[in-house]
Structure 1
Amino acid sequence: MTTTNTTQAPAPTNSVLRVPPASPAAAAAYFRASLTFHADVSDVAAAFKAGGDLGFVLVDSRSTESWDQAHVPGAIHLPTALIPEQAERLLDKSVPVVTYCWGPGCNGGTRSALALAELGFQVKEMLGGIEYWIREGFEVETWQGREQRTEADPLTAPTDSDNCGC
């Protein structure tokens, strides 16, 4: 009589591994795809700081009142509701667009990115929106001019460097 070993690894004892991780190839494909859809605040700020041709245009999709309160210097104001009628007049389809809205608790940047993609624009969303732009200590522009709202929040950005190292 021949016996085969049918021993399986024990079931995970925690919820992190209840659903096993993806294969390395599937994980690489997923994370590569994620980077095609998203940019982070630090990378956008570094591109602006470097100057020259950014290779993209930054679009703030919030209301006029929100724009006046604070926006990223150099951004274009194009509220999501106005994208269908104004995007093709204000933006060049050959230049990628990066959108943002309030922050992680708001999907306005996602909605504006969708609206632009449906019109044929290449688009990414800036993760964290204006909230993380401000929390990371970057300068904003208001209806009164430019200002720095706060020093970098040590929970969101390095306080002793321009680069988080990631």
Structure 2
Amino acid sequence: MTDAVAFFTARLTHLTDVSDVHAGLPGGGFVLVDTRSRAAWDQGHVPGAVHLPTADVPGPLDPATPVVTYCWGPGCNGATRAALAFAQRGFAVREMQGGIEYWIREGFAVETAAGRVEHAPDPLTAPCGC
């Protein structure tokens, strides 16, 4: 049981989900970092996020401010690589599970060059209620 407690405690310490990030924006005491390419960012990103591709981490961010990273989705480890790079530089960091894919699937707005875009929630993923 001790191994399971340690494992799940670590997951909750270092991972967060899109609903919790959404609830924490704006003013949640963290910087949300989109680690994807410029082309992906331009297609749509979480409103209020900072664009900082993994190769540019930590960028101009203050190590005293916690960071949450995200990328495309669960099939991509870009946010994980960025989170590791932040952690290696002393940042408090968490990774947003599901990335922009699950952000959109939850029905949350994205920002594009044309403005905010709303999508209907995917009935298979939202509302989770947990």
TM class by shorter chain equals: over 0.9
Work out which of the residue numbers 86, 90, 93 in structure 2 matches 1:123.
93
Q: How does 1:1-166 map to 2 (within 5 A)?
A: 23=1, 25-48=2-25, 51=26, 53-83=27-57, 87-89=58-60, 91-148=61-118, 150-158=119-127, 164-166=128-130
CA distance in 1, matches of 2:42, 2:122: 23
CA distance in 2, matches of 1:124, 1:88: 17
Task: Compute the displacement of 1:88 (Å).
Answer: 4.8
CA distance in 2, matches of 1:125, 1:147: 24
Task: Compute the displacement of 1:80 (Å).
Answer: 0.6
The list of structure 1 runs, each at least 4 consecutive aligned residues, that deviate by more than 2 angstroms after superposition, is none
What secondary structure sits across from 2:96 in the alignment? strand
What secondary structure sits across from 1:65 in the alignment? helix
Q: Percent identity?
A: 65
Paired residue total: 130
Q: Amino acid of the residue matched to residue 19 of structure 2? A: S
Deviations 1:19-65 (CA, angstroms, capped at 9, x unpaired):
xxxx2x321221011111100001101112xx4x3111100000111
Q: Amino acid of the residue matched to residue 111 of structure 2? A: E
Task: Compute the displacement of 1:102 (Å).
Answer: 0.1
Q: Amino acid of the residue matched to residue 38 of structure 1? A: L
CA distance in 1, matches of 2:59, 2:15: 22
Please say which structure displays the higher CA radius of gyration. Answer: 1
TM-score (norm 2): 0.95
Deviations 1:57-115 (CA, angstroms, capped at 9, x unpaired):
100000111100000000000001111xxx252x1111110000000000010011111
RMSD of aligned alpha carbons:
1.1
TM-score (norm 1): 0.75
Q: Amino acid of the residue matched to residue 156 of structure 1? A: T
